[in-house]
């Protein structure tokens, strides 16, 4: 005889009942004493793990969750992720659309750092805001989902992957990393007082170590005096960064083939910070000229009206200025290893919310040539007019680190003489294409310099061009790079 799940009577609506297998038997018995309005039951198939024992997930990666068609009011689902003992687990929420609540009391996903609900709780999630990545301390995670009695169907989806776990960096013996690429981290559950963790990265001679911070959340203090991650060149001893706080730092490229990272925590108290994830790759050194305006990759100009896609990295001084909340915002140019020139109207929100990306061409994907740099300080022209005229719309950005020039990244020249009318200039960027191409790819267009007197004529800009501006474009075919055809600063390529 099959096990009895529940015996029901009365007028209180019971919670959902889930069978342990694919068959459920229901019997109804009445007596002759009274007549009631009866009952109605809706049944639907549910996911493995939703009712009864937890579904065990293994393998190097996978996905799980509940979609809108699988959602049932009052359901309870459990998943246990169990991977190899030498690995830990990284969870990435692909989507979440659950009933919101201050404490997620009605509906929630709970993640425990271990094999069951008694393991330490890593987080409780609901609503629509996608949580950050979650990394386990060991090779097991337990995930529990409880749905509300809402009639609106909800859903969430989670992807898990495995990461190699090496406790040695924090046990007195530095981790020696010699591959062409790799990743290391301190997870939230690994984060504790009195840590001292060392990673030593070595790549082939003639190459450089390029580091990118995927996630960063370290206890903040003045001068990072409590907890810190220190990044140092392994040969020269040059210290690139002493890091703490929550702002994701810019990329770092070593000046030799070795790089060292040391993470230290104080004995102050246990931290609730999430730690960090660091990735590195090896980049081969290709000799390039330090001379400004000399691209290693020649550019070409097809005969296309309205501009064309640029040859990849043929304008190596082009940068993408990004804002943390929505991505690409403006263009700009490299003029020195720590200096970028851009428009003043692009940098009014503050340096901590922006990044400079060099080596970019296709903004829709990562190509491996990009480097992301944090901003140290912004210098806006003191007489910049934020009104309609935008006179002196120019700014300088000083980076926190120094760019290493390579075939995809090089500086351009600043003009030494006046740029005369009729001079053919080039505008590059990811701006409006007006149907001429994909604005995710770097574009280029020829623009001739136009005399100020012509630009101030009634047919053009009707005396709105000041002496601090340079006008460029074509009267019959305005291929301007922005909404107006005014250039506020002209840089040159190859000194011309």
Cα separation, 135 vs 332, in Å, equals 37
Residue 114's contacts (CB-CB under 8 Å, 6 or more residues apart) are 120, 138, 140, 141, 142
What's this model's pTM, rounded to 2 decimal places? 0.54
Residues in CB range of 22: below 8 A, 6 or more apart? none
CATH class of the region 308-399: mainly beta
Domains 168-284 and 308-399 share a fold: no
Residues with pLDDT less than 70, the chain: 1, 18-22, 44-49, 51-52, 150-151, 165-169, 171-173, 189, 268-272, 287-290, 302-306, 388, 431-438, 475-496
**What's residue 492's pLDDT?**
41
The class level of CATH for 424-487 reads mainly beta
What pLDDT was estimated at residue 333? Answer: 94
pLDDT for the residue numbered 464:
82
Superfamily of structural domain 168-284: Spermadhesin, CUB domain (2.60.120.290)
Asked if residue 235 lies in contact with residue 257, where contact means CB atoms within 8 angstroms, the answer is yes
In the chain, the N- to C-terminal Cα span, in Å, equals 92
Joined together, the tokens standing for residue 29 give 């018995």
d(CA 390, CA 413): 24
pLDDT score, position 171: 67
Angle in degrees, CA 201, 204, 206, rounded to 5: 120
| 452 membership: H or E segment, kind and range | helix 452-455
In the chain, where the domains are located? 168-284, 308-399, 424-487
Q: Which residues of 367-392 are buried (b: 16+ CB within 10 A; e: fewer)?
A: eebbbbbbbeebebbeebeeeeebbb
Specify whether the CB–CB gap between 200 and 177 falls below 8 A: yes
Distance in angstroms (rounded) separating the CA atoms of residues 495 and 154: 60
Tokens found for residue 68: 């809108």
């Amino acid at each position: 005889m099959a096990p009895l799940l529940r015996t029901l009577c009365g007028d209180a609506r019971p919670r959902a009942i889930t069978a342990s297998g694919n068959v459920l038997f229901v019997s109804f018995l009445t007596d002759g004493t009274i007549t009631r309005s009866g009952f109605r039951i809706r049944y639907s198939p549910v996911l493995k793990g939703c009712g009864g024992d937890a579904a065990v997930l293994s393998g190097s990666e996978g996905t799980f969750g509940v979609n809108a068609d699988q959602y049932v009011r009052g359901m309870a689902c459990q998943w246990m992720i169990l991977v190899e003992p030498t690995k830990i687990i990284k969870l990435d929420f692909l989507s979440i659309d659950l009933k919101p609540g201050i404490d997620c009391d009605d509906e929630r996903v709970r993640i425990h750092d271990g094999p069951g609900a008694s393991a330490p709780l890593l987080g409780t999630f609901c609503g629509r805001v996608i949580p950050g990545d979650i990394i386990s301390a060991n090779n097991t995670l337990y995930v529990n989902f409880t749905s509300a009695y809402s009639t609106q169907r909800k859903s969430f989806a989670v992807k898990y992957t495995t990461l190699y776990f090496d406790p040695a960096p924090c046990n007195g013996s530095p981790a020696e990393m010699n591959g062409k690429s790799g990743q290391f981290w301190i997870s939230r559950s690994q984060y504790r007082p009195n840590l001292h963790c060392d990673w030593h990265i070595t790549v082939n001679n003639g190459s450089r170590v390029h580091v990118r911070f995927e996630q960063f959340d370290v206890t903040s203090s003045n001068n990072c005096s409590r907890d810190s991650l220190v990044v140092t060149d392994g040969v020269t001893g040059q210290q690139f960064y002493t890091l703490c706080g929550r702002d994701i730092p810019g990329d770092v490229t070593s000046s030799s083939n070795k790089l060292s990272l040391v993470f230290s925590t104080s004995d102050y108290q246990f931290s609730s910070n999430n730690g960090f994830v660091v990735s590195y790759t090896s980049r081969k050194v290709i000799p390039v000229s330090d001379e400004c305006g000399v691209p290693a990759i020649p550019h070409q100009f097809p005969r296309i009206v309205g501009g064309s896609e640029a040859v990849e990295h043929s304008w190596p001084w082009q940068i993408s200025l990004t804002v943390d909340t929505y991505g690409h915002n403006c263009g700009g140019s490299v003029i020195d290893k720590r200096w970028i020139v851009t428009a003043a109207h692009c940098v009014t929100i503050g340096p901590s919310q922006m990044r400079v990306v060099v080596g970019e061409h296709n903004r829709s994907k990562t190509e491996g040539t990009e480097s992301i740099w944090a901003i140290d300080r912004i210098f806006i022209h003191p007489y910049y007019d934020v009104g309609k005229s935008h006179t002196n719309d120019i700014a300088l950005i000083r980076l926190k680190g120094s760019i290493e020039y390579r075939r995809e990244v090089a500086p351009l020249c600043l003009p030494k003489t006046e740029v005369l009318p009729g001079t053919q200039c080039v505008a590059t960027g990811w701006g409006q294409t007006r149907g001429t191409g994909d604005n995710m790819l770097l574009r280029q267009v020829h623009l001739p310099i136009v005399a100020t007197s012509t630009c101030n004529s009634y047919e053009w800009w009707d005396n709105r061009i000041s002496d601090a501006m340079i006008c460029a474009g074509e009267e019959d075919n305005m291929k301007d790079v922005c909404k107006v055809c005014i250039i506020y600063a002209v840089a040159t390529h190859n000194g011309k």
